[in-house]
């Protein structure tokens, strides 16, 4: 099994019991996202974790396809959906690169706290762009560790990865993230950060 999947499987139960780190910022991101959602929308969420965000947005869209590399995360998410009678979210264990869907399948794609955990975020963003319909939106919230002194993590992270102590983590700046998104063909429509050093929230649009 992939090292990342093993790591996330191991911590899934604990992760599901942790409160949201910054509830006010989380609620704002939910609210901004909701302003872009429509009842007829097909949505993809990758790296969905234990499914709380997908379940929260479910009443406002037609369907959400939520995927995660960790089967344990997916099992917890499915349990929550069942307990809440949520029937328009499909949870599947999958990475973005494993996902096989036709181009222009989705109206919106969500990738929250995930881009910095991918081996190649540019490839993932390019695939998101292909999977979106014209005018579709990509909503992301990403730790940009390169903005702070945490740049030293670039040295530490490979050691932690080697011993399976931490997930794969990539270090980049907000500027580098913005370039990755716009180079893929998106236009950034909305950008917000609750505070310096916090996750960068971006809503990017594919051209009509
Ligand atoms: C920090 S958690 C974020 C979960 C959720 N999006 C949230 O905001 O609470 C990262 C999630 O991404 C998943 N993940 C890590 N690498 C992945 C990959 N390559 N493809 C899909 N999911 C991945 C992990 O299993 C984990 O559930």
Is 117 touching ligand 1 by the criterion CB < 6 Å? yes
CA of 135 to the centre of ligand 1 (A): 26
As a whole number of angstroms, the distance between CA 91 and CA 64 comes to: 8
What is the per-residue pLDDT for 163? 54
Is 76 touching ligand 1 by the criterion CB < 6 Å? no
* Ligand 1 probe mutation, 47, 52, 170, most atoms within 8 A of CB: 47
Q: Which domains does the chain have, with CATH numbers?
A: 3-206 (3.40.50.150)
In this prediction, residues 161-181 reach a mean pLDDT of 83
Is 172 touching ligand 1 by the criterion CB < 6 Å? no
CA of 47 to the centre of ligand 1 (A): 3
E-only strand ranges, the chain: 42-46, 63-68, 89-93, 106-112, 132-142, 186-193, 200-206
Q: What is the pLDDT of residues 107-139, one digit of tens each?
A: 999 999 999 999 999 999 999 999 999 999 999
Examine the pLDDT at 177 and tell me if it is beyond 70: yes
Q: What is the pLDDT of residues 93-107, one digit of tens each?
A: 999 999 999 999 999
What is the per-residue pLDDT for 148? 80
In this prediction, residues 71-99 reach a mean pLDDT of 97
Task: Round the average pLDDT of the chain to a whole number and report it.
Answer: 92
In this prediction, residues 45-70 reach a mean pLDDT of 98
Contacts of 177 (CB under 8 A, 6+ apart): 115, 121, 142, 144, 200, 202
- pTM for the whole thing? 0.94
In this prediction, residues 59-64 reach a mean pLDDT of 98
Examine the pLDDT at 151 and tell me if it is beyond 90: no
As a whole number of angstroms, the distance between CA 199 and CA 41 comes to: 26
Is 88 touching ligand 1 by the criterion CB < 6 Å? no
Is 91 touching ligand 1 by the criterion CB < 6 Å? no
Is 69 touching ligand 1 by the criterion CB < 6 Å? yes
In this prediction, residues 61-75 reach a mean pLDDT of 98
CA of 149 to the centre of ligand 1 (A): 24
């Amino acid at each position: 099994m992939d090292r990342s999947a093993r790591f996330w499987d191991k911590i899934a139960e604990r992760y599901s019991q942790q409160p949201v780190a910054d509830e006010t910022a989380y609620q704002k991101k939910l609210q901004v996202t909701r302003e872009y959602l429509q009842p007829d929308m097909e949505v993809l969420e990758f790296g969905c974790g234990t499914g709380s965000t997908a379940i929260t947005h479910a009443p406002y869209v037609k369907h959400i396809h939520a995927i995660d590399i960790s089967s344990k995360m997916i099992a917890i998410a499915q349990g929550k959906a069942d307990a809440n009678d949520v029937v328009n979210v499909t949870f599947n264990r999958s990475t973005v690169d494993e996902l096989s869907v036709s181009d222009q399948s989705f109206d919106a794609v969500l990738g929250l706290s995930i881009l910095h955990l991918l081996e190649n975020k540019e490839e993932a963003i390019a695939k998101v762009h292909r999977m979106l319909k014209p005018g579709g939106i990509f909503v992301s919230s990403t730790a940009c560790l390169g903005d702070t002194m945490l740049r030293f993590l670039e040295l530490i992270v490979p050691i932690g990865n080697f011993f399976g102590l931490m997930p794969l983590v990539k270090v980049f700046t907000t500027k580098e993230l913005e370039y990755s998104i716009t180079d893929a063909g998106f236009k950034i429509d909305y950008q917000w950060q609750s505070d310096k050093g916090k996750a960068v929230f971006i809503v990017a649009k594919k051209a009509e």
